[in-house]
Amino acid sequence: MSLPSMLPALVAPSTHRGAARPVSNRGDQGLKQRVVTRRWLTAACLAAAILAVQPASVHAEQRSAPTPGPAERPAQAPSESGDHGGVTPAQRARMASEEPLVQAALRIRRAAQATKASGFAGVALREGTVIVYWKGPVPPASRKTIDQEAAKVPVAIRPAAHSAQELSRAADEIGRKLRAAGDRSVVSIGYPVTGAGITATVAGTKTPAVLANAPVPVTLARTATKIVKPASESTVPRSQAGSLAVPDTARTTGSGDPMGTLALGNWPNPSRQDDAVPAWGGAHVINSDATGGNHGWKTRAAGTDEVIDVDNRYHCTSSFPVLFGTQELMVGALSCGGPHRTFVDPSGDVVNTPTTGIGVDASSGVSLTIPKGGAEPYLYTDDPWGQTGWQIGGWEAPVAGQTVCISGAERGVFCDAEIDDEVGTETAYIPTSQGDSNETHNMTNISTHYHGGPVWDGRRPFKLADGSECNAYEYLKEVDELGCSPVPLGPGDMGAAVFTLTAGTTTGVTIKGILVHQHDGDGQNPYGYHMVGSDRIAAVYDVTPLTSRNDRP
C-alpha cells in the first residue's frame, strides 16, 4: 500500500492556527539518511507529530473576532483600473497571449522526452513563436507532434549544436570530477535549451581543468570568491543584530545607537505579515532556529536615512500548498529551513508543526512542511501588507521565454520576470540558514527587469518594516544612497511562488515553481534568480497541488 493511500486513515484535519513556511539544510543532513524512495513522508511519524500538537497562541485581533475562514477572505476582484495584485493590464494580456504557445511547447517537449529523442535540445518562446531546437534530422514521430502543434500556433525548428542528452552527460561528468577533486570554485553550471553548450559561473580567476577540457563548449562567467561562514558565526553585522522585533517598542543597535520605535504589528489580519487559519501561500515566515540572518526584513535607523535589518533572523516566504494524500502541506525553499525547524510569523506566533517524519532530498532545493491549521488554495497578491489573494488552479512546468509573476512577502507581487534559457538544468551551491551551502540540481534561471513605471498608481514605493517607503523599482543614485535595494526581489522573498495568470479568469493562477536563490555573488546578475520548476517538485515528492477543485470544505 502506498503512503498516500495510508495517510488519510492516520491523520485528522488540524484545527490549530497556522501559516505556511519554507525550509533549510545543514542541520537537515540527518534527514538525508532517511531518504530511501520518492515517497518521503513517514506516515506513522507524521501522524504522531500532528496529533501531538497543542493549540498555538492566538493574536489579540483573533481573540476579539472569529478566526477568518475561506468564506470570509475570498480572492478580491480586479480593480476598476484593470489591474490587481501588481499585475498591469499589459502584463496580463501578454501572459494570456503566451498561454497557447506554452501549452504547445509543453506538448512538444513531453513527446520528445517520452520517446527519448536523441537530437532534441529544447523549446522556447520567441516573439510569438514556439522555437524547437534540434540537432540533426527530426525523426518522424517528433515531426508529427511538431506539425500537429504548428497547425494551432506558430512553430519553427532551429538547428542545435548539441542535444539535451549530450549536454546533460557533459554537465554530469563535470560535476562528478569537481566533487571528486573537492573543487567548489564552480558555483553554478547548466546548459540552455538552444543546445549551444555548457554555461558555468566560476569564483576567482582560475579555470578548473575539467572546464577547459570539457567535451562541449563552455561559456564562463566570473564571480568573486564567496566565503560561507561557519554555523557558529553570525551572518549579520553587530550593529544590525537584535532580537525578534516587538511591536511599538524602542530598540537600539548593537552599538547603543537608537533605532526608534518600530511601527510593527499594525498590519491587517489576516495578511502576508500575519497569516491566519487556514494558511495561504506568499506569507511572511521566519526560521527561529537559524544561526544567522539573511537581511530579509528592513527598517530605518532613527534620525537617519540608513536602512538596516530589523533583526538577525532568517526571513522567507511561504510558497504554496500541496496535498500528500489528503494531508495539506506547504512547499518551501530548502535554504530557509527543513521540516523539523520551527517557523514563526513577524509577531512571534509559531506557524508550523516541526516534524522528523518528512524526509528531505537536499539536492532538490525544496522541502515540505506542515502548516498549523491546514492550508487553503490561495496565494497572497498585492503589496507586502496586502490581504487579498488569487485562487490556485494548478501547476505546470516552466518554459523558456515565458512571462511570469513572483509573489514574495518582502516586496509583494512582481510581474516583470521571464523564464531564461536554462530550464531545469542548472546546478548551483545555495547558502542555507545554518551557515552552510547545498549543491542544488535541476533549477531554472529566471530574470527580472528594470522597472520603468509604477506597478500600482501612487504605490510604486514598497514599504519597509516600519512603514516608511523605499523604491525598489528604479536603479537611481539617491535610492542607492538611502540603502534601498534596487532589485525587485529581496532575500525575504526566497520561497515565493512563481506563477502565471490563467487566461479567461480574474482569480486563477498556475504555479510554475518556487524561488530558491538570488544571484548574490560579485559579478553575478543582481536581477537573476534560481527557481525550482513544478515538474521537478513533482519528480522528487509525491504531492499534488492543492487547488480550488480538490480543496476540502
DSSP calls for 10-44: H-----S---------GGGHHHHTT--SS--B-HH
Angstrom distance (rounded) from CA 263 to CA 463? 12
Nine cell digits for residue 496: 515565493
User: Which pLDDT score, from 0 to 100, does residue 266 have?
Assistant: 64
DSSP 271-318: BTTB--SSEEET-EEEETT-SS--S-SEEE-TTS--EEES-SSEEEE-
| CA atoms lying within 13 Å on the CB side of residue 110 | 11
Domain ranges of the chain: 90-159, 164-223, 270-553
Angstrom distance (rounded) from CA 433 to CA 289? 8
pLDDT in tens, 432-443: 998 888 899 999
End-to-end CA distance of the chain: 27
Report helix, strand or coil for 168: helix
pLDDT in tens, 102-126: 999 999 999 999 999 889 999 999 9
Q: Which helix (H) or strand (E) holds 480?
A: helix 477-482
Angstrom distance (rounded) from CA 365 to CA 23? 9
Classify 393 in phi/psi space as left (phi over 0), alpha (psi -120 to 50) or beta: alpha
Q: Based on the number of CB atoms within 10 Å of its own CB, is 468 exposed (0-12), middle (13-18) or buried (19 or more)?
A: middle
User: Which pLDDT score, from 0 to 100, does residue 448 have?
Assistant: 87
The residue ranges of the chain whose pLDDT is under 50 are 1-83, 227-263, 452-460, 472-478
CATH class of 270-553: mainly beta
Buried b (16+ CB within 10 A) or exposed e, 470-501: bbbbeeeeebeebebbbbbbbbbbbbbbbbbb
